[in-house]
Amino acid sequence: MKFKNLWKMYERFQKASNKEKYDFPFPMAVFGTLRKDYSNSCLMRNRNVECLAHSKAFITHMIPSGLWLDFKKDATGVAEVYFYDKLNWKSMIRSVDGLEGFNKHSDSNYGYNRTLVRIHLLPKDFKSNFYGKNSILYSDRDFGILESCWEQYVSIPAWIYANTETNVNCLKLKNHPILWFKE
């Protein structure tokens, strides 16, 4: 993958109107049932949607707790990132927005905002009990990677679904992962 292109897309994204921002095909980071081998992962890859790549990742100051994403200072929450071309992203995002109760045209959503964040990619050979068919889903999932190590990992802009409270709490930190969300 060419990650520099994602940061160039982010430069264009910053100049776009709020209405246009949701149409930018950034990778999608997921932390619950959309992860590989879970019940809703079929929405990320199916006969109508081709995924270009998939990666293990972590998000800073956020922690998956059950099916919710909570704020936790210094946490490195478990995530997976799916990469798409523009056409396949458009097909995928409709289904996933629907699952998450998110409507880009509405000011009141089910509880989640589609939020653009800086996510850190993990090496392909990264091993953890948080990944795989029998991995933990219904508990707090924090890698415990120290902040002094975060910059050792490639970071990219990616969409994630997070609630307003988690986003606002993250924004209070100097080194928060939030690149954009519409309150």
pLDDT tens per residue across span 71-117:
999 999 999 999 999 999 998 998 899 888 888 887 765 668 899 99
Helix (H) or strand (E) holding 162: strand 155-162
Q: How far apart are CA 26 and CA 6, in angstroms?
A: 7
In the chain, where are the structural domains located? 3-180
Tell me the per-residue pLDDT of 161-182, one tens digit each, with 9 for 90 and over.
999 899 999 999 999 999 999 8
pTM: 0.93
Q: Which fold has domain 3-180?
A: Hypothetical upf0131 protein ytfp (3.10.490)
Q: Phi-psi category of 89—alpha, beta or left, where left has phi over 0 and alpha has psi -120 to 50?
A: alpha
